[in-house]
Amino acid sequence: MRQQARFQVSRPRLRPAGLFTVLAALVLPFAAGCGGGMNDLNAYIDQVKARPGTRPDPLPEIETYETYVYTADVDGMRSPFVPDSPVADTRAGAGGGVRPDVNRSREYLEQFPLDSLDMVGTLQQGNTNYGLVETADGLINRVTVGNYVGQNDGRITEINESEIRVKEIVSDGIGGYLERDAAISISD
């Protein structure tokens, strides 16, 4: 039977006195650096205290607020607090211009934005020409001239082989409405 050779590695042991010496050699240079810089700091503080004091800058003058009394009746201006002011409304687009019909019942395709609808074809039955419109959820709907689509009161004005033309009623941003032409093109 063969004998296996045994190797024993001996590590040098550090005795407590040696450990203390190593730690002291590492820590003492840092501790000595902390206490030596106080002379410079004290000299700078004395120099700053020796400077003559100055008065702070005066506060800026506060302008008095001029009050304005709003009288719609005297100035001929409309009152912002009364919904139906007696003063004539002179905004652009106000009056008898284009307005959406709020009393009509909404159609199914008016819940979708116009750009989310795709035209997928046309269909003709008798003398009536229909457009086929696909919604984002994959349903195909049959529309004809006069139907409403999109979220801006868009009414279909024409249907041909390549597109469905729509006239939308959109806000002009100052209380009135404008008509805008749009189209749903056939998807390839």
The answer as to CATH 1.20.1070.10 being correct for domain 108-185 is: no
Q: Would you say the pTM of this structure is higher than 0.75?
A: no
Give tens-digit pLDDT for 147-188. 999 999 999 999 999 999 999 999 888 888 999 999 999 876
The arrangement of strands across the sheet holding 148-149 comes to 148-149, 154-159, 163-171, 177-185
pLDDT of 93 over the 60 cut: no
DSSP string, the chain: -PPPP---PPPPPPPHHHHHHHHHHHHHHHHHHHHTTHHHHHHHHHHHHHSPP-PPPPPPPPPPPPP----HHHHTPPPTT-SS-SSPP--TT-SSS----TTSPPPGGGGS-GGG-EEEEEEEETTEEEEEEE-TTS-EEEE-TT-EETTTTEEEEEE-SSEEEEEEEEE-SSS-EEEEEEEEEBP-
Give tens-digit pLDDT for 96-143. 578 888 899 999 999 999 999 999 999 999 889 999 999 989 999 999
Q: Per-domain residue ranges for the chain?
A: 108-185
